[in-house]
Structure 1
Amino acid sequence: MKKFLMITCFFFGGMAAAQAQQTSPVWPGCEDSEDKAACFNEKLSAHVREHYEYPMKNNEYIRAQVKVSFDVNEKGEVVVKSVEGPKPEVNKAAREMLEKIPDMKPGTLNGKPDSRNFTTTYKF
C-alpha cells in the first residue's frame, strides 16, 4: 500500500509539473476579452467574410472547398503554409485573404512567444 501511495504521488506530481502554461495568439481588438481564443475565432470568421473575394469565370463565381494551414509566428506575423483545393483560382483567392490577416500578439508557451499552427477547411 505504501508503494502504491508513493507511485501515485510521483505520477500526479509529475503530471502537474509537466503541464505547460500556454496562451493563444491575441487578435487586435481581443486584448480585453475574457475568452481570447473565442474572440480570435470570431475575428477570423469576420475576416474571412470581409476579405475573401470570389473569383469569377464566365460571369459565374468559382466555388470550391479548400484546406488552409497557417502559422502565427513568434513575432505575431501570419505565415501561410498551404492552401489545398481542386480549383487554383479559389486557392489563390484564399491565400490572398489569409495574407491580409493583421499581425497580432503571439501565443506564448511558458511565458515566451511561441509559433502556433492553425488548420481549417472553408467552403467558398
Structure 2
Amino acid sequence: MELKKNPNLELKRNNSLYFFIGMAVILLLAYLALEWKTYYPVSEWEIGQIDPKVLSEEEPPITIQKLKTPLPKIQTPPVIEIVPDDPDIIDTPIKSTESDPNTEIPSIDDIEVAKTDEPEIVPWITIENAPVFPGCEVISDEDGKKACFQQMMQKHIQKHFQYPEPAQEMGLQGRVNIIFTIQKDGSIGDVKMRGPHEILETEAARIISKLPKMIPGKQRGTPVKVPFSIPITFKLQ
C-alpha cells in the first residue's frame, strides 16, 4: 500500500513566509533598540527649571549702626633729663683741611720711594732668571739654561737610580711625581712626592737628596724660591 503525504501537514510549505516574518521582527527590534532614548530624572525644584519671574524680589532692610567714638589719646610730654658735663672730655679743635700756602715743598731727594714687594715664590715658567744647575753656567741664553737644567736633572736621576730589591720582589712599579723647591740660597727643600708605594717614594726621595747646591733663581735681580717638578718612573724589565 503506497503512503500519501497530506499537503496541509507539510513543514516546508510556509518557509518563505516564516523567514520574512522573522526578518521583519528582527528589524523592528533593532530599530527600537537604536531609537530608544532615556533621560535623567528631573527634580521639581531644580534651579534651572524655575522661572525667574516667579521668584519675588526681596530687598534687604537698611540698618544703621552707630560706631563708638574712640577715646582721645593723651600723649605725655617727653621727660628731658639733664646730664652733667663730663670733666674728663677734652674738646679738640677742628683743624682746617685747606692747604697752608706758607708750607715748604720738600725736595725730591727727601721723598722716600717705596720698594716693590717681590713675591717670595715664583713659578718655573714665569721666572726671569731660572735656577742654574752646576755645569750650566757657561750658557748665556736663558732658555738654554732651562733646557740644560732639565738635561742635568735626567742625568742625575740615571746616575743615582737604584731599583729597590723589596719593590722587585713585590713586583712594584709605577711613576713617582716629585715637587721640590730651590731655595733662595740654592739648596733643595719642601720635597713632596706621590707614588704607587712608599718603597718607591723613599727611593725617589734619596735621589733628590743627592742633588748638588744650585745657583738660585732671581726675579728682578732678587733671589726667590722656585718650585720644580719631575717624575721618576720605576719599571720592571
Output the TM-score relative to the length of structure 1: 0.77
User: Is 1:70 equivalent to 2:180 in the alignment?
Assistant: yes
Which shows bigger deviation, 102-111 or 55-64?
Answer: 55-64
Other-structure match for 1:38 = 147
Q: Which has the higher strand share?
A: 1
Q: 1:74·1:106 contact (CA, 8 Å) conserved in 2?
A: yes
Question: Which of residues 158, 162, 182 is equivalent to 1:53?
Answer: 162
Counting matched residue pairs gives 105
Percent same amino acid at aligned positions? 29
Query: What secondary structure is seen at the aligned counterpart in 2 of 1:22?
Result: coil
> For 1:1-124, what aligned pairs fall within 5 Å after superposition?
22-33=128-139, 34=141, 35-57=144-166, 60=169, 62-124=172-234
Q: Which amino acid aligns with 2:151?
A: E
Q: 2:167·2:200 contact (CA, 8 Å) conserved in 1?
A: no
Task: Provide structure 1 residue ranges, at least 5 long, that are not aligned to the other structure.
Answer: 1-19
Counterparts of 1:56 and 1:76 in 2: how far apart (Å)? 33
Structure with bigger RCO (C-alpha 8 Å, 6+ apart) = 1
Q: 1:80·1:99 contact (CA, 8 Å) conserved in 2?
A: no
Counterparts of 1:115 and 1:83 in 2: how far apart (Å)? 18
Counterparts of 2:206 and 2:194 in 1: how far apart (Å)? 13
Deviation at 1:122, TM superposition (A): 2.5
Output the TM-score relative to the length of structure 2: 0.41
Task: Provide structure 2 residue ranges, at least 5 long, that are not aligned to the other structure.
Answer: 1-125
Query: What secondary structure is seen at the aligned counterpart in 2 of 1:69?
Result: strand
Q: Which amino acid aligns with 1:123?
A: T
Deviation at 1:21, TM superposition (A): 7.1
Q: Which amino acid aligns with 2:154?
A: S
Q: 1:30·1:40 contact (CA, 8 Å) conserved in 2?
A: yes
Describe the shift of the 1:65–1:59 C-alpha distance in structure 2 as closer, same or farther (beyond 3 A): closer
CA RMSD of aligned residues (A): 2.0
Q: 1:24·1:106 contact (CA, 8 Å) conserved in 2?
A: yes
Q: Which has the higher helix share?
A: 1
Q: Which amino acid aligns with 2:148?
A: C
